[in-house]
Amino acid sequence: MISIGIVGGTGYAGVELLRLLVSHPQVSLKYVTSRSEAGMPVAEMFPNLRGFTDICFTEPDVKTLGVCDVVFFATPNGTAMKMVPELLAQGTRVIDLAADFRLKDSAEWESWYGMEHACKELLAEAVYGLPELNREAIRSAKVVANPGCYPTAIGLGFLPLIENALVDNQHLIVDGKSGVSGAGRGANVATLLCEASENFKPYAVDGHRHLPEIREVLNGVAGHAVGVTFVPHLVPMIRGIETSLYAVLKDPGVDLHALYLERYKDEPFVDVLPKGVFPETRTVRGANFCRIAVFQPQGGDTVVVSSVIDNLVKGAAGQAIQNMNIMFGLEETAGLDRPALLP
């Protein structure tokens, strides 16, 4: 059994990790930390876990966590980087669900996140945890930077086009829509029911924090800097992301559907839909799937890719567990092979 620690178990990503891990057949949950809730039974805060775990929140302690095989960080940006070096020194592997290790350039990270990076020396060693792109590197990784939700949906949507140099990659356009849980569990007027319900709005048009991550992923695939315009929107639902991706084809005669089917034929959590079927966020709710459809309106030179994920599962906790499975040589689908929730 793989022994697990979770730092930051009170947020939406944390409780999603717990929901998935308590029924994982090959893990043992040892510690779930929270400075503010230490001593409280986890199932008291999250009643959906009653009968599945009797563990209590504890204070985060690096030496205690160091007995675990792997520690997940479901914490705000800037937390993991202060603890990871000591955990690695104790032989513990780390999966960070925040952004501390996603960018290789520390100066760019500091400009976007407004703080000094505490362990710049580990940025080169950390592996970006998008299995469909970096599976082999993830197997031996000591630190995995779990991708952000938007970069996951966008990266998977664009990969086949950019890998095959089929589009003008200097003018990529992303129209993204996310549910309110993507903003986190903290109190915020903008995400109150009366503010978010029956409303639809763009935000961070001048620059979303996921933009440098999106660029880094796509730049790496293209082998040079790409041009991306990314406009996210907040929609009045709890879970889910849909990204509509636009690019201009160099060769409109390519069979795009066949291309996507071939690229993802062996990927357990990427589902390329039949021609003419539109992805829906409800079909991935609570599941670790990314469902993708590709379109070529009127047979012209514009390609439109629609990609949907659950931002808390494939966009966070589920992908983190997928990475853990790869790191420890388990079946990649272990603990994750479940359908979405309908209705």
Specify the residue for token string 């979405």: 340
Residues 177 and 293 in one domain: yes
Give the pLDDT confidence score for residue 187 in this predicted structure: 80
Q: Look up residue 140 and give its two tokens.
A: 């031996």
Residues 156 and 303 in one domain: yes
Q: Which domain holds residue 295?
A: 150-310
Residues 257 and 189 in one domain: yes
Residues 163 and 266 in one domain: yes
Residues 120 and 215 in one domain: no
Give the pLDDT confidence score for residue 190 in this predicted structure: 87
Name the catalytic one among 68, 119, 149, 290. 149
Q: What is the mean pLDDT of residues 278-284?
A: 98
Residues 168 and 221 in one domain: yes
pLDDT band per the 50, 70, 90 thresholds, residue 186:
confident
Q: Which of 90, 110, 125 is the last residue of a domain?
A: 125
Element holding 305 (H helix, E strand): strand 302-309
User: Are 24 and 3 within 8 A, CB to CB?
Assistant: no
Give the pLDDT confidence score for residue 120 in this predicted structure: 96
User: Are 308 and 280 within 8 A, CB to CB?
Assistant: yes
User: Where residue 268 sits, what CATH number does that domain have?
Assistant: 3.30.360.10
**What is the rounded radius of gyration, in angstroms, for the C-alpha atoms of the chain?**
20
Q: Which of 80, 110, 125 is the last residue of a domain?
A: 125
Residues 284 and 157 in one domain: yes
Does residue 276 belong to any structural domain of this protein? Answer: yes
Q: For residue 251, is pLDDT > 90? A: yes
Residues 178 and 286 in one domain: yes
Residues 156 and 113 in one domain: no
Residue 131: HSE in the Cβ half-sphere, 13 Å Cα cutoff: 25
pLDDT cut 90: percent of the chain above it:
96
Residues 91 and 202 in one domain: no
What span, in angstroms and rounded, lies between the C-alpha atoms of 311 and 178?
A: 8
Q: What is the mean pLDDT of residues 187-214?
A: 93
For 82-102, write each residue's pLDDT tens digit.
999 999 999 999 999 999 999
Give the pLDDT confidence score for residue 184 in this predicted structure: 87
Q: What is the mean pLDDT of residues 125-129?
A: 98
User: Where residue 68 sits, what CATH number does that domain have?
Assistant: 3.40.50.720
CB under 8 Å to 244, separation ≥6 — which residues?
A: 174, 175, 176, 304, 305, 306
Does residue 176 belong to any structural domain of this protein? Answer: yes
Whether 149 is catalytic: yes
What span, in angstroms and rounded, lies between the C-alpha atoms of 188 and 195?
A: 10
Does residue 134 belong to any structural domain of this protein? Answer: no
For 216-233, write each residue's pLDDT tens digit.
999 999 999 999 999 999
Work out how many domains the chain is built from and give that number.
Answer: 2
Residues 160 and 92 in one domain: no
Does residue 220 belong to any structural domain of this protein? Answer: yes
Q: What is the mean pLDDT of residues 125-133?
A: 98
Does residue 319 belong to any structural domain of this protein? Answer: no
What span, in angstroms and rounded, lies between the C-alpha atoms of 84 and 155?
A: 26
Three-point CA angle 125, 318, 306, nearest 5°:
95
Does residue 27 belong to any structural domain of this protein? Answer: yes
Does residue 322 belong to any structural domain of this protein? Answer: no
Give the pLDDT confidence score for residue 214 in this predicted structure: 98
Does residue 143 belong to any structural domain of this protein? Answer: no
The rounded mean pLDDT for the chain is 96
Residues 94 and 181 in one domain: no
Kindly state the greatest CA–CA separation across the chain.
Answer: 62
What span, in angstroms and rounded, lies between the C-alpha atoms of 126 and 123?
A: 5
Q: Look up residue 49 and give its two tokens.
A: 């876990």
